[in-house]
Amino acid sequence: MQCANKGCRKVLAREGMAAHISHCAKQKVPCQECGRKVHRECFEEHAAFICLNVRISCPLGCGTNLPRLYLTLHLGKCSGKALKCMVAGCIAIVKQKDVPRHTINAALTHTVLQEGEVQRLRGLMHFQKTKPNWILEEESVLSFRWRRGRWSYIRGPNLFSTEYSCPNGNNGGRI
């Protein structure tokens, strides 16, 4: 007789059947962890990669051991997760658990960067308030000029778009 398991073509005598079923690759066996029935031939794969109840260690190496089911949740807050340093301008990518150490080690760099950032933002705000549309043009390799752009709310009597002028208010002067 043929093995009753779908996909198994084994033909053998009735008395040999029980012995075959106990190791037939196509026999479904229940997973001890999740209760799902899995083909014997797929069982290793199920336990290693699929079963949500099997405990695995965190792939980010934080040492946590948890059911695969909770892995996604854990990865969101895992201390082994690498984050980009929050300080603007700092390009460091640091594991979450190393952030305090990085904050201490990079304190000086951060101060400089933060000051630079404050300056930059101040400059930006100042620039936006005062001279919004000056366009720096390259006239030749060695000289630049500022051209008045779409700057409609101040109309100097002698200002035309092609005239040279300084963005600091010295209208008409060459830089």
Give me the residues that bind Zn ion (CB under 5 A), please. Answer: 3, 5, 8, 10, 24, 31, 33-34, 51, 58, 60, 62, 64, 78, 80, 85, 87, 90, 92, 106
Overall residue count recorded for the chain in this entry? 175
Of the pair 92, 166, the CB lying nearest Zn ion is at 92
Q: Which tokens belong to 105?
A: 């080690």
In eight-state DSSP terms, residue 116 is H
Task: For Zn ion, give the closer residue by CB, 71 or 159.
Answer: 71
- Name the residue nearer to Zn ion (CB basis): 10 or 131: 10
Residue 55: its H or E element: strand 55-57
Nearest Cα to Cα of residue 114 among 84, 82, 86: 86
Instruction: Give the Cα separation of 144 and 19 in Å (integer).
Output: 91
Closest separation in Å from C-beta 50 to Zn ion: 7
Q: Measured from the CB atom, is 70 or 127 closer to Zn ion?
A: 70
- Of the candidates 167, 129, 170, 126, which has an alpha carbon nearest to the alpha carbon of residue 147? 167
Q: Compute the least distance from the CB of residue 15 to Zn ion, in Å.
A: 15
Q: CB of 113: closest distance to Zn ion in angstroms?
A: 8
Q: Nearest distance from residue 126's CB to Zn ion, in Å?
A: 27
Give percent helix, percent strand, percent coil of the chain, each to the nearest 5.
Answer: 35, 20, 45
